[in-house]
């Protein structure tokens, strides 16, 4: 079953809940904060994105503004940027009339992608969305099995495509006409395990430790100070830089 993460701004929450219901009725697994948010908010969002085949962005003018705000505690910004960094297939879904130009990171990463029009919320539109999700999930699955992905932030646009808007296909260490840079994807849990191993297993315990707790423990040990109030992926990146294992 294809799995999607539903990223939306709160003004479209009711629409997002209905979209989740419609997609589930079409055999699409959906992560939505309404019924999937558990425990630590940031970790829960990261886990939902990591486990998704496709990230659906419900595009509105407000969503674009929130992502472009630069406020690093905004959930829309955190979800969108984490999804792009993890090289997930991101599918824009139009759910209201939009201006011709999309500003900020949304414009950079999504403007050249074909969107799915869901403004009418009709059965035919949801059928088309489910079909597109299945197609993109199949593509993502082939990429994962190959063990390679192409990150929007690191790929070199081939064939003269505009920077930030080109979608590079992974399938080898070298892509034709430009050479895309490919990197293996690791989940947060795998990155934590790698950090523990680098520290000589000093933080291994006899129980299954929640990932968020493990990150806080590693962070406090390296910093020699109380854990800072940062999103889990930021703390993990700092840990990896300290250990010299940053990707």
For 180-199, how does the pLDDT look when each residue is reduced to its tens digit (9 = 90+)?
333 345 677 777 788 777 77
- pLDDT for res 194: 81
pLDDT band at 71 (very low <50, low <70, confident <90, very high): confident
- Whether residues 31 and 130 share a domain: the answer is yes
- Whether residues 223 and 236 share a domain: the answer is yes
- pLDDT for res 159: 38
- pLDDT for res 215: 76
Task: Show the domain range for 196.
Answer: 188-243
- Whether residues 31 and 110 share a domain: the answer is yes
Averaged pLDDT, 152-169: 37
What residues contact residue 87 under an 8 Å CB cut-off, 6+ apart?
149, 150, 151, 152, 183, 185
What average pLDDT is seen over the chain? 75
- Whether residues 180 and 192 share a domain: the answer is no
- pLDDT for res 136: 85
- Whether residues 137 and 171 share a domain: the answer is no
- Whether residues 40 and 119 share a domain: the answer is yes
Domain tally, the chain: 3
Hey, which residues does 149 pair with through a beta bridge? 183
- Whether residues 153 and 110 share a domain: the answer is no
Cα of 59 vs its chain's centroid, Å: 15
Q: What digits encode the pLDDT tens for the residues 192-227?
A: 788 777 776 655 555 566 777 777 777 777 655 555
- Whether residues 116 and 135 share a domain: the answer is yes
Decide which of 113, 145, 177 is a domain's last residue: 145
- Whether residues 210 and 105 share a domain: the answer is no
Token couple for 130: 């489910």
- Whether residues 127 and 157 share a domain: the answer is no
| 87: CATH | 3.40.50.10140
- Whether residues 136 and 159 share a domain: the answer is no
Place of tokens 């933080």: 203
- Whether residues 140 and 195 share a domain: the answer is no
């Amino acid at each position: 079953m294809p799995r999607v993460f539903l990223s939306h701004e709160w003004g479209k929450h009711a629409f997002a809940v209905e979209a989740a219901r419609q997609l589930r009725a079409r055999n699409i697994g959906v992560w939505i904060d309404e019924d999937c948010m558990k425990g630590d908010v940031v970790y829960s969002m990261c886990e939902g994105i990591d486990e998704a085949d496709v990230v659906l962005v419900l595009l509105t003018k407000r969503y674009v503004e929130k992502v472009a705000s630069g406020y690093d505690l905004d959930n829309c910004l955190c979800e969108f940027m984490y999804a792009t960094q993890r090289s997930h297939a991101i599918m824009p879904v139009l759910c209201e009339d939009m201006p011709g130009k999309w500003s900020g990171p949304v414009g950079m990463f999504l403007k050249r992608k074909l969107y799915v029009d869901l403004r009418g919320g009709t059965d035919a539109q949801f059928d088309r969305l489910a079909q597109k999700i299945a197609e993109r999930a199949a593509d993502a699955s082939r990429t994962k099995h190959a063990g390679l992905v192409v990150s929007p932030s690191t790929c070199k646009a081939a064939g003269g495509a505009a920077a930030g808007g080109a979608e590079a296909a992974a399938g080898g260490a070298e892509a034709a006409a430009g050479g895309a840079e490919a990197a293996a994807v690791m989940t947060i849990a795998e990155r934590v395990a790698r950090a523990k191993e680098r520290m000589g297993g000093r933080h291994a315990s006899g129980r299954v430790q929640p990932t968020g707790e493990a990150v806080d423990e590693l962070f406090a040990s390296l910093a020699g100070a109380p854990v800072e109030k940062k999103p889990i992926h930021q703390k993990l990146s700092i840990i990896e830089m300290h250990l010299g294992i940053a990707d």
